Amino acid sequence: MGKTEMPPVAVQRREQLDELLSGTFNSILRIEERSLDNRLTHGLTITEVHTIVAVGLHERNPMTVVAARLGVTLATLTTAVNKLAKKGFIERSRSEDDRRVVLVSLTKKGRQVLRAHNLFHHQMIDEALADLTDEEERVFADALVKVKAFFDAQE
């Protein structure tokens, strides 16, 4: 066997991991989208909810900070903020230090969506990890840190 060849069992395990990662990602998105069908989040897209999350609970952030959190351009964020402002989830204001800087913050309605989204994620993680031992959870978390670091480096 050459340096780059893997034993068949390793190839099979990697194929299984590929399916598990992709399948898990897709399942989380589907579950998250279904969870949006409630009175607080009805009519919002998953992207809009993630924009609300990026704005933050009790913060007034410059648009550039929120765009960086989401990994989008300022133009893309401006479009999203305009829609969310019209729907009553986000409000804009000017910085008192520099009037050119636009700050965004959540309205009461936006804060309710953020809390509902955070609750969904806490419950999802609690239920997903319920059958793992403390050691299994630690090993899983350590492995995910490494996998996430790889994907973050690809951006």
What pLDDT was estimated at residue 48?
A: 92
- What are the b/e assignments for 17-31, b being 16+ CB within 10 Å? eeeeeeeeeeeeeee
pLDDT digits (tens, 9 = 90+) for 57-115: 888 999 999 999 999 999 999 999 999 999 999 999 998 888 889 999 999 999 999 99
pLDDT digits (tens, 9 = 90+) for 128-137: 999 999 999 9
pTM confidence score: 0.77
**CA 39-42-45 angle, 5° bins:** 150
Cβ contact 103:62 at 8 Å: yes
CATH class given for the domain over 36-154: mainly alpha
Q: How far apart are CA 126 and CA 62, in angstroms?
A: 33
Residue 3 binned pLDDT confidence (cut-offs 50, 70, 90): low
What pLDDT was estimated at residue 141?
A: 95
Q: What is the average per-residue pLDDT within 4-8?
A: 83
pLDDT digits (tens, 9 = 90+) for 18-46: 999 999 988 988 888 787 777 777 788 88
What pLDDT was estimated at residue 139?
A: 96
